[in-house]
Structure 1
Amino acid sequence: MKTILTSLVALAIAAPAAFAHVSFEMPHAAEATQKLRVKIPEGVIAVKPMPKPDWSLEIITGPYENSYDYYGTTMNEGVQELIWAGELPDAHFDQFSFRAKLTDMHAVGTTLYFPAVQECATAAERWIEIPAEGQDAHDLEGPAPGLTITAPGNGH
C-alpha cells in the first residue's frame, strides 16, 4: 500500500511503492461562511481528516465496492466524503487536509480524481468533472483535482 497525504491547496502522495504530486488552487467566494465537500475515490482507505478550529467536520462513511487489506485487517467500508463548514473571510485562505492509504489497485500512470465542491451563501464552485479517456482535463469547465500515480523516484 502507498500512503497519501492531501491538502486541498497542495496535494501530495509519497510512499515506498509510488510517488506523485499535484497542486491546485481553489478560488474563494467573497462571503465568509464556507462549506467544502470532497469525495474520496475507490481504493483510498483509512482516511483521517484534519479538523480545523471553529469549523465543523462531517465524515460520511459507507461500503467500499471492494474489500481491502489494511495491515492484516479487512476493510469493507470507510470514508466516502469529507465536509468542512465554517467561517473564512475573503481576505484569507486555508488548507483542508486528510491522510489516507492508497491501495495497490491503482497502477502507475493512473489518475485519481477527488471531486470537490465549495459553497458559500450565494454561490458554489464545483470541481467535479472527470475527463473521459483521452480527454484533456483543461478542456472541462470544472475539472476535479487529479492525482497521477508515478513510479518511485519520479516524485518527491
Structure 2
Amino acid sequence: MRRNDIGSARIQADRHDRRSARPRARRILQAAAATLLVSLFGFASPAGAHVTVTPSTTAAGAHAVLQFSVGHGCEDSPTTKITIQIPAQITSVTPTRTALWKIAKQTETVDPPTTDSHGNKIVQRVASVTFSTDTPLPDGYREVFELTVQLPEAKGTKLAFPTIQTCAQGEAAWIEVAQDGQNVAELELPAPSFIISEPDEDTAHHPSTGDAHSLHSTATAPASGTDRALTLAALAAGVLGSLLGGAALVRQRRRT
C-alpha cells in the first residue's frame, strides 16, 4: 500500500472514531445531567416517587418548616387524605392552611410531662395531623403540606414521620423505617425522615414574631431559586469539564 493510501486510511479511521465518539459522549453527558438532577432535587419518575419531607433546617433546637410532598396517587387513584404521624421528640406543631384541604389535629397526653425551651410545662402534644379534601388530588399531580415544628436539641436524632396516604380507591402506608445499617433504598414504602444536625448559631430558636409563612421565607432564603440555579450550573460545568477533558485524553491517546 502506498504512503498516500495509508495516510488517507488513517484520516478516514480517525474521522470515524470521532463520529462514533460523539453519540457516546452525548449519552454520557445526558446520564450525568440526570444523575446530577436526582442528587440535587430528588427528581424521580412517577412510578418511583415517594412521600418525602424537606426541612427548611435540620439544626438541633431550631424552628423548622417541614414540607411533605405527595407526587402521585394510589395505583392511579386520586388522593383524598394524608395523615402525618409526629414523632414523640416533637412537642410543638403548627400546620399551614392550604387551599382545598381541611386540617385536623389529634393530640395525646405527654406522660411524664416535659418542659419546652421557654420553660412552659407540656402535658399535651399533637400526635398526628390529617389533611383531607372533597376535591381529590389527581394522580400525577403534586401537592405540598407544611408543618412548622421545633426540632429536638439532640444532634444525630433520626426523626421519622410515618404517613398514611388515603385515595379514592385504596391507600399507601409510608411507614417503613430503616433499621441500623439498612439502606433506605431497600424499603418499598419508606416513611419520610431526616436526621438532626449540629446546632446553628445563626438560627433563631425562639422567634418572637412572625407566622409560619414568614418563618418559612426566612428559613429557606439561602435555598432561593437563583442560588439553586447557580449551584446547578456550577456542578454541571464541573461535570461537563471532566467529561470533555476525558474525551480529549482518549483522542490524544488514539493519535499517539
Taking the aligned partners of 1:134 and 1:16, their CA distance within structure 2 comes to 23
1:58 aligns with 2:104: yes
Partner of residue 121, structure 2: 74
The higher-RCO structure (CA 8 Å, 6+ apart) is: 1
Unaligned runs of 5+ in 1: 1-6
Letter in 1 for 2:176: E
Shift of 1:18: 6.3
Q: What are the superposed Cα offsets for residues 38-83 of structure 1, whole Å, 9 maximum, x if unpaired?
A: 0000111120111222321110000124433221211021100011
The one-letter code matched in structure 2 to 1:117 is I
Equivalences, count = 146
Are 2:169 and 1:133 equivalent residues in the alignment? no
Q: Distance in 2 between matches of 1:16 and 1:108?
A: 6
* Offset at residue 14 of structure 1 (A): 4.9
- What does residue range 1-156 of structure 1 map to in structure 2 within 5 Å? 10-15=54-59, 26-29=70-73, 30-70=76-116, 71-86=118-133, 87=135, 88-90=137-139, 92-104=141-153, 107-152=154-199
- Considering fraction of residues, name the structure with more strand: 1
Distance 1:23 1:137, change over 3 A: farther
C-alpha displacement at 1:138, in angstroms?
1.8
Aligned residues of 2:106 and 2:128 also touching (Cα < 8 A) = yes
Give per-residue Cα distances to partners, 1:11-52, cap 9 Å, x unaligned.
3335575699x9875441134451001000011112011122
Q: Structure 2 stretches of 5 or more lacking a match? A: 1-50, 201-221, 223-256
Q: 2-side partners of 1:100 and 1:26: how far apart?
A: 19
**Structure with bigger gyration radius:** 2
Distance in 1, Cα, partners of 2:79 & 2:179: 34
Which structure shows the bigger proportion of residues in helix conformation?
A: 2
Asked whether the 8 Å contact 1:68–1:103 carries over to 2, the reply is no
Overall identity of the aligned pairs, in %: 29
| 1:27–1:65 CA distance, 2 compared to 1 (3 A) | farther
